[in-house]
Amino acid sequence: MSDFTGGFWSVYISIITIASIIACGVLLKAMSTRKVSGSQAETTGHAWDEDLVELNNPLPRWWIWLFYVTILFGLVYLALYPGLGTFGGSYQWTSKKQYEEEVAKAEALSAPIYEKYAKTDLKQLAADPAAMAVGQKLFLNNCAQCHSSDARGGKGYPNLTDADWIFGGEPETIRQTIANGRQSVMPPWGPVLGDDGVKDMAHYVMSLSGRTFDPLRAARGKEKFATTCVACHGPEAKGNPAIGAEDLTKYTLLYGADEPSLIETIGKGRMSTMPAQKELLGDAKVHILAAYVWSVSNPAVTGAAPAKTGAK
């Protein structure tokens, strides 16, 4: 595959390469005999530092034959493998193809294992320590970048070990979340409520979640809640897993439940994305990960917590 717009450089390289190789051969042949006068010259004829001379001893014949062999090797190599410009060589080797072959070989090795796990029910899989070791490795490689190595997340990244699920916590729901991803939008209410209104709403939410709050502000917020927030978060503010609206009565919220965080959330809105993993990981790995994620929030089922055995 050439990045050039024309074929000139390809031809240029090829000509120079082949010509150089042929030139080596010609040079070897030309230099393989020499014409000397009757008396044999023993030195090269130069003298350095007054009396340092170099003997002109003949090189061994096997040396020149090895050189011819390397020329032949070079020509054969260039015929078989890419080297002359855009000519792909008769083997049509590319590094991409080699990589794909290696990946295919590795996947063939692991395919039976994944097949076995893909057929197992998710809750059963969660109780299998060997499968969960695989799950932990997959998790550490693919999920821990956001959800952190212990799966407890952080601000903006859900804690997978607790019982709070924004979109639902059944094993099949978790699998769908991982496979297809999730998107939820908290609209910005700053323009509608105004700075003061946003602060009032924040204090109302704080009152729901058991934090200390300003009662005056909370009362004002509660009035507006019914008209602005209930549509997504539900009349009791318990949330709506169908659209990913959070349960606001929890002590900990995804983007923080303290006043500054709430003001930012309500005023500016939030855009949350869980990226879909189906394309990248494939169904089998998603299946195992779903079992693993379910297992970290249900340690009683799995027995020993995965962290104790570590990942390889």
Partner 1 sequence: MNDRPIASELAKPELVEQPLYEVRKEIYARAVSGWFARWRWTLVFLTQLVYYGGPWLVWNGRQAVLFDLVARKFYIFGIVFWPQDFIYLTALLVISALSLFVFTAVAGRLWCGYACPQTVYTEIFMWIERKVEGDRVARMRLDQQPMSARKFGLKAAKHGLWAVLSLWTGFTFVGYFTPIHELGAAITGVAAAATPGAPQLGPWEIFWVLFYGFATYGNAGWMREQVCKYMCPYARFQSAMFDPDTLIITYDPGRGEPRGPRARNADAKALGLGDCVDCDLCVQVCPTGIDIRDGLQYECIGCAACIDGCNQVMARMGYPKGLIRYTTENALRERLTPSQILARSLRPRVLAYTAILWAIIIAIAVTLYTRVPLKVDVIRDRGSLSREVEGRWVENTYRLQIMNTQEVAHRFVIRAGGAPTLQVAEGDSIEIPGAATRMVPVRLRVDMGKLAAGTHKIEFDVAAADDAAIAAHERSIFLVQSGK
Q: Position of tokens 């030195």?
A: 43
Q: Which of residues 36-55 bind partner 1 (CB under 8 A)?
A: 36-39
Using CA atoms, how far residue 284 sits from 113, 169, 311, in Å, is: 10, 20, 19
Comparing CA positions, the residue from 189, 145, 136 lying closest to residue 312 is: 136
Of 6, 48, 52, 63, the one binding partner 1 (CB under 8 A) is 63
Count of beta carbons in the 10 Å neighbourhood of residue 307: 13
Count of beta carbons in the 10 Å neighbourhood of residue 67: 15
Amino acid at 200: D
Strand partners, 53: 47
Distance separating alpha carbons of residues 189 and 154, to the nearest angstrom: 24
Of 2, 145, 183, 273, the one binding partner 1 (CB under 8 A) is 145
Q: Which of residues 247-306 bind partner 1 (CB under 8 A)?
A: 251-252, 258, 260-261, 305
Q: Which of residues 193-222 bind partner 1 (CB under 8 A)?
A: none
Of 10, 17, 120, 148, the one binding partner 1 (CB under 8 A) is 148
Of 140, 226, 231, 280, the one binding partner 1 (CB under 8 A) is 140
Q: What is the residue-wise DSSP string for 249-288?
A: TSSS-TT--SHHHHHHHHHH-EEEEE---HHHHHHHHHHH
Minimum CB separation of residue 279 from partner 1 in Å reads 21
Distance separating alpha carbons of residues 132 and 8, to the nearest angstrom: 57
- Per CB under 8 A, 309 contacts partner 1: yes
- Per CB under 8 A, 60 contacts partner 1: yes
Minimum CB separation of residue 33 from partner 1 in Å reads 5
Number of residues located near partner 1, criterion CB under 8 A: 41
- Per CB under 8 A, 110 contacts partner 1: no
Based on CB atoms, which residue is closest to partner 1, 60 or 191?
Answer: 60
Minimum CB separation of residue 39 from partner 1 in Å reads 8
Based on CB atoms, which residue is closest to partner 1, 61 or 105?
Answer: 61
Q: Which of residues 152-191 bind partner 1 (CB under 8 A)?
A: 152-155, 157
Burial (CB count within 10 angstroms: exposed 0-12, middle 13-18, buried 19+), residue 226: exposed
| Footprint of partner 1 (CB under 8 A) | 31-39, 58-64, 140, 144-150, 152-155, 157, 251-252, 258, 260-261, 305, 307-312
